[in-house]
Amino acid sequence: MAAEDAVAMKNKGNDAFRHMDWPAAIEFYTKAIELNDHEPSFYTNRAQANIKLEAYGYAVADATKAIEIDPTFAKAYYRRAVANTSILKHSDAIHDWKMVVRRNPSDKLAKSQYEACQKMVKRDAFLKAIEIADAPSAAVGLDLESMVVDDSYDGVRLKDEMTQEFIDDMIERFKTGKLLHKKYVFQMLLAVKQIVYEESTMVETRVKPDQQLTVCGDTHGQYFDLLEIFRLNGFPSATHGYLFNGDFVDRGSWSTEVCLLLYAYKMLFPSNFFLNRGNHETDDMNRMYGFEGECKAKYNERVFKIFSESFSALPLATLIGDKYLVLHGGLFSDDKVSLDDIRKLNRHNQRQPGHEGLMMEMLWTDPQTMPGRGPSKRGVGMQFGPDVTKRFCDNNGLEAVIRSHEVRMEGYEVEHNGKCITIFSAPNYCDSTKNRGGYINIDSSHELSFHQFDAVPHPDIKPMAYANNGMNSMMGM
C-alpha cells in the first residue's frame, strides 16, 4: 500500500511541476520518498524541481542518491550533470555527461552538452594558465577622442557629462531595440568604473529629510520590468535615491540595457544612486549565463571586458543610516566578522570572488530556517540561521540585514524574526517562475515600506538568448 501511496504522491508532484509550482512539487516528491525511499525516479524528479529553484546543491545530493540506488539510471547522471554545470563545476559535470552519452548514444542534447562541457573545461584551464594578477586594462589604447559618431546616428549625443536628456533618449532607444553608439558605451563604462572604484567597499549613507531611498534586488536583465519599477515608484532624482543590490545582468536578455541605464543614473547622481556587486557581476557567471554573449552580440568583446573591470570595482555592501546592512548574498561563516572587517576589505586586490573568504560569502550565502550554519542548497557558499543573524545584528548595532540573491514569490520576505529581509526585483523570473517583484522604500526616519509589482510584457526574446554554452536549452528541461 505504501508503494501505491508513494506513486500517488509522485503524480501529485508531477502535476505541481507541470503548473510550475516548484515548492509544492518538492513537497510531494519528498512525501513520496518518505513512503518509499528506494525508488530512484522520486529523487531525480525532486532534483529537477530543485534545479528550477536554483537549489543545485540539493539537486546534486538527490541525483547522487538515485545513482546509489540504481547506478544504471541515466536520468540521475543527467540531473547531476545539469546541476554541476549550473554552478560551474564543469570538471565534475563532464564525467556525468559522459555516462549519459554512453548509456544513450542517440541523445543529441546530451551529446551537445558533453561537447560543450569539454570545451568549458579546456577554456577554464586556458584562462587559469594565462591569468595575470595585474593584467592591463582592456581600455588601454582605447582612443575615445578619435571615435567618430557619424551623422546616421539618430540618438542624443553624450558630451562630457551625463544628462537627463541623454537618459530619456536612451530609455526609448532600448525599448525599440536600438543600441547606443559604442563610443558612448565606452565613455559610460570608464566613467562609472572610476566613480565606483573610489567608493568604499561598504558605502555608508543616510536618508536626508524630504528624501527617499529605494532598495531593489536582482533585476537580471529584465529591462521592461526595471522600467516598471521606475514608472510605479518614480524615476531616480536628486531627492529620490536608489540602491540596486546586485545581479543586474545574466539570464534576462536585456542585460546590457539594464546595466547601461543603471550606470547612466550613477553618472547623473553619483552620491544618491548606489550599486552593490552581486554574484552575477563576475566573469565565470557572465560566461555561463549570457551576459558575455550579449555584449559580444550587441557591441563587442572589449565592451564585455571593460564591463567586467567595472563590476570588479563595485562596492560589496551599503550601510543605510547605521541600521541596515545591504549586501547581495548574506552573512558569514565566522561570528567574529564585523562591519569593520567589511570596511577594511580591499576588494581591489581580488577581482573575482573565488571559492572562499569574505567576498565570496557576501555574494553567495543564503538564510535558512534552522539555527546555526548549514551546507548551501545551491552548492556554493553556506547557509546561516536566525541565531547567526541575531548575533551579527546585535554585535554591530543593526536592526536588520537586507539581501537579495533568491527568488521570493511575493517579491520580498521578512524572516529571522524581522532581522533578515530578502528583496527580489525580477518578477516572473526567467519568464517562468510567476513570482511578483518587490522593492523597499526607506524614508528619512529610516522606516521601511514594502512594495510589490507584477511583470510587464516584453518583446519575444527568451531568457538566456545569448548564452552560447547550452544553458539555454537546459533551462527548458
Report d(CA 418, CA 431) in Å as an integer: 30
> Which three cell numbers mark 267?
553618472
E-state strands within 248-388 = 273-276, 317-320, 324-327, 366-367, 373-375, 382-384
Of 7, 50, 49, 10, the residue nearest 28 (C-alpha): 10
Instruction: Tell me which of 90, 220, 240, 280 is the catalytic residue.
Output: 280
The three-class DSSP label of residue 378 is: coil
SS3 assignment, position 53: coil
* Cross-strand pairs, 402: 326, 421
Instruction: Give the length of the chain.
Output: 477
Q: At 197, list the grid cell.
A: 572604484
Closest by Cα among 469, 475, 473 to 109: 473
Grid coordinates given for 418: 524581522
Instruction: Note if 280 is an active site residue.
Output: yes
Q: How far apart are CA 87 and CA 91, in angstroms?
A: 11
Cα separation, 239 vs 290, in Å, equals 35
Q: What is the dihedral of CA 84, 89, 92, 96, to 10 degrees?
A: 40
Separation CA 259–CA 264 (nearest Å) = 9
Identity at 46, one-letter amino acid code: R
Distance in angstroms between the alpha carbons of the first and the last residue of the chain: 32
Cell of 397: 548595532
Q: Which residues are catalytic?
A: 280
